[in-house]
A and B are shown apart, each in its own frame.
Chain A
Amino acid sequence: MTAAAQNPLIFPEKNRYKPETGERFAALFKADLALQDGPAWLKALRYSALTGLERRGLPTARLERWKYTNFASIVDQFTAAPVPADLREVDPDNLVERLVDNLSNPQEWLEEILSEQDENMARYGDMMLWDLNSLFLKDGLVVDVPAGKAVDKAVEVNFSISDGTAAMPRLVIRLGEGAELSLIERHNAIGKSWHNGVTQIIVGPNARLRHYRIQDSHPEAVHSQNTAVRLMRDASYESFTLTTGAGMSRNQIHAFIEDTNAACHIKGINLLRGSQHADTTAEIEHRAGHGTSSQLMRSVITDQAHGVFQGKVLVHKDAQKTDGTQLSNALLLSEGAEMDTKPELEIYADDVKCAHGATTGQLEDDPLFYLRSRGLSENEARLLLIQAFVDEVVDGLGDESVQQSVSAKVEQWLTEQN
């Protein structure tokens, strides 16, 4: 045994964190007496977040999970205390409540879930942005769908954040046994703003949540989002994110299949241009057997834009008969466009079916020539091929109104390329 291994103090591990990047927010918190007040559980939550933030700061590229996305410096410009996001909901069945009305005396389940740490992030020491959200926890929404209720009309939430401000909204969504809901989020932040959201979801036994996000914020906006989903027995969670907006975005989803025969499908389309940087990090953890999961990403990247996909499927020893797939395809339309992909499988069960794949490439010459030989201009041919590339994701979306608005947005984006 070497001396270093016997005594780790001889060569202490280099600190991966940069605590100083969190100081500004710690100070803003300490200066706000109202935030330090409140019920005991909320104080405990905020102070634990403060400890975390003071220890770790904000994520930098020194962390393995952030190696493609150097986040901390991007948000240097935000020096004022976070403000509430402007949330407007379309809520035909009156399911949505304001979080702020629930904080002083929440129901037990809500208090419990708000106090939870995302276990996965805790494992990787990557709860900085979550902690920051907890530190300023105040505004957001609660959607609690009672058991057996199948909601016909989608709930829509429009997020708007003003130029120069940061907002830390929290969403909590719970579906009781057999409940069904479609939730559509539209993000249209303005100017140099920062959305640092946390969404916590419980999909109860045999319940089904379809979760759509259309993120079309200003090209100078920063968008970071953490979503933690728990799936109970026979539950189904389908998520789709269209990313066309924000100069810097990190969309992180962690799904936990807690009980048998649950299904989790995470899809996304990234259309990136200019100097946009968009990072999708998805991890699906199978803790019970007979679960199905998939991750499907399609990215179209041009100019100097940079896409990142980090996908992981983790299958625990007891999660036999798991079926997990993971696929990321990226189309690079310019010399300067870049895509980093890190697909991972971590499997401890022996009877599973898991597959992953990733491709990054350009439009192929043969189809382009074939289409042009039939009379399409080079431009028309390119548009048709790019459209076809993303359509596979759009076509399977389920909700027709979402499908239409996504198609329209994709078409608009493609047209603007010319």
Chain B
Amino acid sequence: MIKIKNLHAAIDGKDILKGIDLAIPAGEVHAIMGPNGSGKSTLSYVLAGRDGYDVSDGAVDFNGEDLLAMGPEERAAAGLFLAFQYPVEIPGVQMSNFLKTALNAVRRQRGEAELDALDFLKLVKTKMKELGIKDEMLKRPVNVGASGGEKKRNEVLQMAILEPKFAVLDETDSGLDIDALKVVAEGVNSLRSPERSFLVITHYQRLLDYIKPDVVHVLAGGRIIKTGGPELAHELEEKGYAEFVGEAA
């Protein structure tokens, strides 16, 4: 699905990613755990194509295509999705309009027919029901005045509608209480399939009790310092980052 090779990235002249190597085959869920400042969010933004990051070395192959050469919208059309750690509030843009515009923009780029208002509404309401999102959300401006939990649910809703091949969840658990966390995790789990891969970025092991990863990576100082099975997350939780990172280095 995605192969990241020796990825180096800097922001404002400061090196953040210092050689990431990571390959995620189709159908697998990988988790990246790491302390604050280890480069977790930078990795997610570089993959999604945000401006301001200087990729000085390395390559990312996404299903045979050069991901780093594509604009953010082309990456979305190619099947990449980033669930934001801090979803952006957009006053004046209604959620329904946003979702429909996004879906049809992606469908157009994928060479699929656009959905009309009725078909779109049917689709979005089904997905919203599954995620326990009330219909009134459609009339609200995107993320404006929404709680942390509502915003994260909206992210998963967008993912469910856009049906990506590969989704990066950037700290989707932060700020969620346990009930919201379960709903979000169930939403993600329902999208798991042999054709779809996930990269779950988190600070805490807790999320991984609900979204069971196949592989866990530990990111520190801009490098992946250890890779293992799900048990690695528990080990990390018990020892704490400081000790763990110290040992590994």
Contacts and interface: CB of A to CB of B under 8 A. Distances in A.
B162 A370 contact: no
A374 B88 contact: no
B84 A370 contact: yes
A276 to B, nearest CB: 24
Interface string A359-388: 000000111011111111110100011011
Contacts of A380: 101, 105
A391 B76 contact: no
Interface residues of A, number: 21
A392 interface: yes
- Tell me which of A372, A380, A384, A392 has the highest count of chain B C-beta atoms within 10 A of its own C-beta: A372
Interface in B86-120: 87-93, 97-98, 101-103, 105-106, 109
B73 A388 contact: no
B207 interface: no
Nearest to A365: B51
Interface in A39-61: none
B213 interface: no
Given A367-B88, A367-B90, A372-B71, A377 B105 contact: yes
B90 A374 contact: no
B20 interface: no
A378 B71 CA distance: 9
Contacts of A78: none
B101 A376 contact: yes
A7 B48 CA distance: 73
Contacts of A391: 92
Contact of A374 (B52, B71, B76): B76
Contacts of B88: 366-367, 369-370
Contacts of A367: 88-90
A296 to B, nearest CB: 14
B42 interface: no
A375 B50 CA distance: 13
B202 interface: no
Contact of B93 (A365, A369, A388): A388
Contacts of B77: 375
A374 B93 contact: no
Nearest to B106: A375
A159 interface: no
B23 to A, nearest CB: 23
Contact of A384 (B48, B50, B101, B103): B101
A369 B50 CA distance: 6
A389 interface: yes
B158 interface: yes
Nearest to A381: B73
Interface in A227-275: none
Nearest to B105: A375
Contacts of A374: 76, 98, 102, 105-106, 158, 162
A387 B50 CA distance: 23
Given A365-B51, A377-B105, A380-B105, A372 B72 contact: yes
B53 to A, nearest CB: 11
A61 to B, nearest CB: 35
Contacts of B141: 388
Given A378-B73, A380-B101, A380-B105, A373 B49 contact: yes
B93 to A, nearest CB: 5
B33 interface: no
B164 to A, nearest CB: 10
Interface of B: 48-52, 71-73, 75-77, 81-82, 84, 87-93, 97-98, 101-103, 105-106, 109, 141, 158, 162
10 contacts: A372-B49, A372-B71, A373-B50, A373-B75, A373-B81, A375-B73, A376-B101, A388-B141, A389-B92, A391-B92
Q: Which 7 A-B pairs have the closest CB atoms?
A: A388-B92, A375-B106, A374-B102, A372-B72, A375-B76, A370-B88, A375-B105
